[in-house]
Structure 1
C-alpha cells in the first residue's frame, strides 16, 4: 500500500432525546435473568431518534463534518454511505437520497453494507483505495447512521442499541487527526444469518431481532473471533513493520463491559477508556462505534502514536486497522 491517507475530521451527531436504560419499558417484560443482563452491560443511557430516518441522521453528521473541514458538499469527489440494516424503502437508494440531501452533486456515490458493524471498515478500505488509486479523487466522505430497527433496543444476548450518526472525511492531505496506515477485513459466511429479523409479511411494529443460536454466538463465534484476531493483528503489524509494543490501548466497538473484559484478556492489552465512556453514554451504535471511539481517543494520543482499531460483527466479519496520530 502506498500514499498517505488521512482520516478526519470525524463528526458525530446524536438526537436530543436521552433514555435511561434502567427505565426502558421493554425491560419490564423480560425474564428476570434477561433484565439483570441488560442492566449489567455497562450501558447507562441511549439516544433515541423517534421519527427521524437513518438518512436524516446521516445528513446531520455529513453536514457537520463538511462544516468542520471547511468543504462544500459540491466539492466532494466521493460519498460512501454505510447502509442500514432496515432501509426506509426496498428498491430505493439511501445513498443517493443522502447525496441529494446534502448537495454532493458531482460525487461518485454508493452504499457499502452487508457486513453489519464491519461495514464501516469496508467503507474505509474502499475510501482509502479511491484516494490512493485515483489522482482525481481528492476526498471521500464516509457516513454511517444507527437507528434501532425494531421497537426493542435490548439485543439479547449482546447489547442495548442507541441511535445516532457519524461522518469522516478521507483525504490524502486533509486536516484530519489520524493517518489510515493499513487495514485487513475478513468474513465467514457460516454465520451469515446468525442474527436476523424475519420481515416478510410481518408489520414493522412486530419485527424482532433474533439470535438463531445463542450458544453459537457466545461460544463458537467467540472462539473463532479470537482466532481471527490472533491471525490478522500480527499480520497487520508485521506487514507494516510495527512491533506490538508500539501500539497503545486498543479501540473497538462498544457492546458491553463484559465484552471489553473478554477482549482485554484474550488479546492481552487494555481497551482505551474512551470506549467504556461511549458505551455508557450511547450504547451500541453499530458501524458508528469505531468512529465515535476513534474521535474520542484522539485527544489522548500524541503525534506519531499508533492505535489498533478492531471491529467485528456476528454476521460474521472481522477487521483490524492500524492508525497513526498526526
Structure 2
C-alpha cells in the first residue's frame, strides 16, 4: 500500500533508541517453554521479557548504536521510501481510523529500536521477540530488522503492506487494551482455542478493519487520504505475512511437527481468515473471537 505524498507524518508520539549489538540476533527457537521457544510478534502483557528470552540472548553489553533520526520522516513520500517512516506513518493512519471507530480512543506511543530496548512497563527485550505491544506503558515496539526476518526466515512477502499489517496488528492490541479485553489472553494463554489465540486473532481482525478504511480516511489538517486504494497485491502481501507467523507453520519449520496445545497466536489459516473478516466487513464487532466456537 502506498502513502499519498501530501500526507504529513506526525512523529510526536514516536521515539527512537539505539541498542546493543550483543549475541542472539534473529528469532529464538529452542530451549525453555517445554523445549520450544517461539517468540514472534510477542504479546507480553506485563511479563518481563527476561523470563521469556533465554539469558544468553539478553546480553546488553556491546557496541551501542544510535537511534533512528525521526526528522527524516516528513511526508508520505518518506513513508514510501524509508521503512522507519513507514512504521510511523502507518501508526498515524491507524490513529486516524480508530479515532473514528472507537469513542475515547487515545493514541499509543511507538518506539523504534535496534537490537534491544528497555521498556518502561515490560522489562528489557531484544529484537528476538519481534514487534510487541506493552500495555503497561501503552507503547508498540518495533525493530524494523524484523521485516527482513519475516521474509528471509519465514517466507513472507516483502511488500510494504506486509509491514503495515504487522504495525496494524500491534495497534490492534492497543485497541484491546483500551477496551479492557487484552488481559483475557492471560487466563488460558496456550491452546488452539485458548485466550492467547483468541486475542491474537482479534488483533489480526482489527488490522483488517483498519485496512478497510485506510484509503478513505483523510488526515486531519491536510484533508488527504492517508493511503492510496489497496491493490490485490497489497492484500496478498498482508495475507502472506499473516500466514508466515501462524503457529502451525512456525512449529513445523522448527520441529517438524504441529502441536496445537501449545499455540499462542493461531494457525496460518486462522490468521488469514480473521484479517479477511475485518477487511471485508470493516466492522470491529465482527472481530469478537471470544464469542465464537468457530475460529477457523
Does TM, scored on the shorter chain, surpass 0.5? no
Higher relative contact order (CA 8 A, sep 6+): 1
Structure number with the higher helix fraction is 2
TM-score w.r.t. length of structure 2: 0.32
